[in-house]
Amino acid sequence: MTNAEIYKPAGRSASIKSRERAANAAIYTVLSVMSLFWLLPVLWLLVSSFRGEPGAYTEYIMPKQWTLSNYTRLFTDTALFSFPRWYMNTLFVAVCSCAITTFLTLMVAYTYSRLRFRWRRGLMNISLVLGMFPGFMSMIAIYHFMKAIGLDQSLAALIMVYSGGAALGYYVAKGFFDTIPKALDEAATIDGCTRNGIFWKIILPSSLPIVAYTALTAFIAPWLDFIFVSVIMKDNYANYTVSVGLFRMIERENIYQYYTRFCAGAVLVAIPITLLFVKMQKYYVEGVTGGAVKG
Amino acid sequence: MAVKKRDPFYLRLARGFNEYIRMFREGDLWTRLSYLIMGAGSLARGQIAKGLLFLGGEAAFIWFYAGFGWRYLKDFGTLGTNAQLRVWDEADEVFRRIPGDNSMLILLYSVLTLAAILPLVMLWKSNVRAAYKAQKLRESNKSLPGFLADAKTLLDNRFHMTLLSFPMITLALFTALPIVFMVLIAFTNFDKSHQPPGSLFGWVGLANMRNVVFSNPLYARSFGGILGWTFVWAVFATFSNYILGMILALMINKKGIKLKRMWRTIFVTTIAIPQFVSLMLVSKMFTDTGVVNVILQRLHIVSSPIPFLTDANWARFMVVMINIWVGIPYTMLMSTGILMNIPAELYESASIDGATPVQTFISITLPYMLFVTGPYLITTFVGNINNFNVIYLLTAGGPATLDYYQGGKTDLLVTWLYKLTVNEQNYSLASTIGIFIFVIVAALSLTVYNLTGSVKKEDQFS
């Protein structure tokens, strides 16, 4: 306790304390109410995925019948909606585009951060401008291009689309590379290390967090994307990814029969994403603030 | 490092030209021949592998142009004149298709072919330089670097070429060229009634732009209305999330609040659930027969379902509210770390001065946060202008209205663009809208980019 507080009149200190307590109580109330709002839909999703009765809602909160059949039928009843296939599609696309994107992004980030060459500033400006066009716009052209070379409605097209823009998403990684002291590079150069060597032996090992962040974001993207898949796949159900597939399940004509199964599918998609997200949470914060947290 | 003032583009270009003229003047026969036959200089001076690469590049380019590119490029001016015909075949009693031009392919491959000039120019330049350099080295009786030594510089002095070549090719193919293609589409009449190969489309100049801005009242009204709502939406969506998320973080961070970790985890859980899942889930909860309306009716709070997503004003209100639900945890997560960095002295002196929490928030927290997260804020704003998922998955742009051409009351420009292409195949109108979105986004970003001065800061570590 500091001196200043000791000499405070007793009455005033008590009023501060009680005001403090009231403020905290108010905050607890607000937080609890908000938590309720935020958690209820999540709980609703979980509960519905185990509900035996079909339909988009019930007039009571807890289901009368609990069942696992929503989950099992996702994998067995695949005549109309082949969830396992969509899941594997998404996994395949995610793994491929994750590998390609990570490599491309890190290569570009290193180049812009460490190497100085004539067109550096020009290329960075072009990237900036290209990034300002709505991504959807280029997609239509890509769709026609894929159609012309016979690749439309294929998973390969999806992979190309997801990893094709990797050269634009270098900002976070570049920002991180920028903070690695240049003295390290210089020392290595004196020891006869080439720039290739510096990239592999110095930059990459000291930026594992950002490698992880880049890889995880790239991996998660295909699970969440909706618009690209629906344009490229049109009505080719077999090559859908989970997001568009699940969307089809709750369209007007299917929702009564498939709603609980949609919930089960959503839970299955959410699990890996949740795990990955928990892992990359702290990188996420560093990413969006561009390392500003470090001051 | 001081920022060097760079010469304008055209001056640098002119200087570049001058250099090649100078090299031509100083060059001997082989160097001069390299201007026409690529690799000649290198071959003549014994750099066989290098010379063959240059020569091969030129040959490949000519082969590509003559064999493929020219077929399409020659029709670039008209985008094709003969549509595909269906002719009755008497003998077999069927319609036969007589293949004609395809405007789409002509435009697509013309762009590709024109773009192929760029690598040729780069190759040509490096060929001339190589020839000139080899000549100079020979004249001063120095030995020329072998092919292997040259290749090795790709891992060191010219490492940027190695690293950038592949990413740049993907960038060109999947982002740059498609954008050029779509920009060109905006100057054609590629719509539902001009679908190649059955019927061709052609250039119409600025007609689409004029239509959107004033000539076509329906288009102009739709564009104006949707643009207005896009801005209203972006402002509300960005700042509501920003401020409320920060307040949430402040509440959790406040001294004396227990179980900080638990509160944070509760809110972060909703981020972890894929956005499209939570959006679809919530959109079904708020339909006329959704769970919210059912509960409200059973509790006799309302007698008929509230048109949450089917009445224009309700829908607009709901998308902003649901976006808050989706977005607050992100801002909370991001601002937690930054808030802890605000110097405690600032708060102490404020409390000595008797500032209320609201005053403290407005005069200390907010300015500090804005300072640190300015760029993030503008990225979010731009992201919200193009926020396809939230709008499309919640309301699909609805409720639909006859005031707008193929649009609804919650449509953003980007969802309208989606509908125009996917449902209406009105590509030319969609591309025009896309260009307008680009202009808006570019203007916004450039302003902020210059304000934050991150351009100048970039080199501080070098």
| pLDDT tens per residue, range B405-454 | 888 889 998 899 888 888 888 888 888 988 988 888 888 877 776 666 54
Main-chain dihedrals φ then ψ at residue B88, nearest 5 degrees: -75, 125
Helix (H) or strand (E) segment spanning residue A224: helix A208-224
pLDDT of residue A12: 55
pLDDT of residue B426: 87
A73 CB near a chain B CB, below 8 Å?
no
Assess contact for B191 and B426: CB atoms under 8 A: yes
Report which of residues A134 and B117 the model is more confident about: B117
Look at residue A6 and tell me whether its pLDDT is greater than 60: no
Q: What is the percentage of chain B residues whose pLDDT exceeds 70?
A: 95
Cβ-Cβ contacts under 8 Å between A and B: the total is 262
Closest Cα in chain B, distance from residue A76 (Å): 22
DSSP characters over B412-426: -HHHHHHHHHHTT--
Look at residue B320 and tell me whether its pLDDT is greater than 90: yes
pLDDT of residue B346: 81
A22 CB near a chain B CB, below 8 Å?
no
Look at residue B89 and tell me whether its pLDDT is greater than 70: yes
Taking CB atoms and an 8 Å limit, are B431 and A137 in contact across chains? yes
Residue A222 banded pLDDT, cuts 50, 70, 90:
confident
State which amino acid sits at residue B253.
N
Residue B402 banded pLDDT, cuts 50, 70, 90:
confident
B269 CB near a chain A CB, below 8 Å?
yes
Assess contact for A142 and A222: CB atoms under 8 A: no
Report which of residues B170 and A60 the model is more confident about: B170
Q: Which residues of B touch A127 (CB under 8 A)?
A: 171
Closest Cα in chain B, distance from residue A206 (Å): 16
The token duo for A97 is 């585009």
pLDDT of residue A186: 87
Q: SS3 for A26?
A: helix
pLDDT of residue B236: 94
The token duo for B161 is 């070429």
DSSP characters over A117-150: -TTHHHHHHHHHHHTTS-HHHHHHHHHHHHHHTT
Look at residue B1 and tell me whether its pLDDT is greater than 50: no
Assess contact for B203 and B187: CB atoms under 8 A: yes
Contacts of B111 (CB under 8 A, 6+ apart): B177, B180, B181, B184
Which residues 47-66 in chain A show a CB within 8 A of chain B?
Answer: 56-57, 59
Taking CB atoms and an 8 Å limit, are B289 and A59 in contact across chains? no
Probe site for chain B from A58, A96, A145, A152 (most B CB atoms < 10 A): A145
Report which of residues B10 and A110 the model is more confident about: A110
The token duo for B52 is 């063959």
Look at residue B56 and tell me whether its pLDDT is greater than 70: yes
pLDDT of residue B13: 84
Residue A100 banded pLDDT, cuts 50, 70, 90:
very high
B200 CB near a chain A CB, below 8 Å?
no
pLDDT of residue B319: 92
> What is the rounded CA–CA span in Å between residue B54 and residue B33?
13
> What is the rounded CA–CA span in Å between residue B179 and residue A290?
28
A272 CB near a chain B CB, below 8 Å?
no
Nearest residue in chain B measured CA to CA from A174: B458
Interior angle at CA B358, CA B354 and CA B362, nearest 5: 105
Look at residue A291 and tell me whether its pLDDT is greater than 50: no
Q: Which residues of B touch A141 (CB under 8 A)?
A: 108, 177-179, 181-182, 185
Fold topology of A78-294: MetI-like fold (1.10.3720)
Main-chain dihedrals φ then ψ at residue B376, nearest 5 degrees: -60, -40
Contacts of B384 (CB under 8 A, 6+ apart): B233, B234, B237, B238
> Where do the H-state alpha helices sit in B286-311?
291-298
Average pLDDT over every residue of A220-246:
84
Q: Which residues of A touch B263 (CB under 8 A)?
A: 31, 35
Residue A213: DSSP 8-state: H
Q: What is the percentage of chain B residues whose pLDDT exceeds 90?
A: 10
Report which of residues B84 and A184 the model is more confident about: A184
Average pLDDT over every residue of A127-136:
80
pLDDT of residue B303: 82
CA nearest neighbour of B411 among B438, B241, B282, B403? B403
Taking CB atoms and an 8 Å limit, are A250 and B167 in contact across chains? no
Residue A168: DSSP 8-state: G
Domains of chain B: 9-182 (no CATH), 212-461 (1.10.3720.10)
pLDDT of residue B172: 87
> What is the rounded CA–CA span in Å between residue B193 and residue B224?
25
Assess contact for A236 and A153: CB atoms under 8 A: yes
DSSP characters over B165-189: HHHHHHHIIIIIHHHHHHHHHTTB-
**Residue whose tokens read 């019930």:** A58
> What is the rounded CA–CA span in Å between residue A29 and residue A54?
36
pLDDT of residue B301: 82
A256 CB near a chain B CB, below 8 Å?
no
Look at residue A292 and tell me whether its pLDDT is greater than 50: no
Q: Which residues of A touch B284 (CB under 8 A)?
A: 56, 250, 255, 259
Average pLDDT over every residue of A25-49:
88
Query: If you average pLDDT over every residue of chain B, what do you get?
Result: 83
Query: If you average pLDDT over every residue of chain A, what do you get?
Result: 81
Q: Could you tell me if residue A90 is left (phi over 0), alpha (psi between -120 and 50 degrees) or otherwise beta?
A: alpha
A117 CB near a chain B CB, below 8 Å?
yes
Report which of residues A262 and B90 the model is more confident about: A262
Residue B228 banded pLDDT, cuts 50, 70, 90:
very high
Over residues B260-272, the pLDDT tens digits come to: 878 888 887 777 7
Domain ranges in chain A?
A: 3-70, 78-294
Average pLDDT over every residue of B118-147:
87
Look at residue B129 and tell me whether its pLDDT is greater than 50: yes
Nearest-CB residue to B182 (from A121, A140, A250): A140
Whole-complex ipTM: 0.77
pLDDT of residue A4: 44
Look at residue B80 and tell me whether its pLDDT is greater than 80: no
Look at residue A295 and tell me whether its pLDDT is greater than 50: no
Which residues 89-118 in chain B show a CB within 8 A of chain A?
Answer: 104-105, 108-109
Residue B459 banded pLDDT, cuts 50, 70, 90:
very low
Report residue B8 CA to chain centroid gap: 26
Look at residue A5 and tell me whether its pLDDT is greater than 50: no
Average pLDDT over every residue of B292-321:
86
Long-range contact list for B121-124, CB < 8 A, 24+ apart? B123/B38, B123/B54, B123/B57, B123/B58, B124/B38, B124/B58
pLDDT of residue B75: 84
CA nearest neighbour of A139 among A225, A219, A70? A225
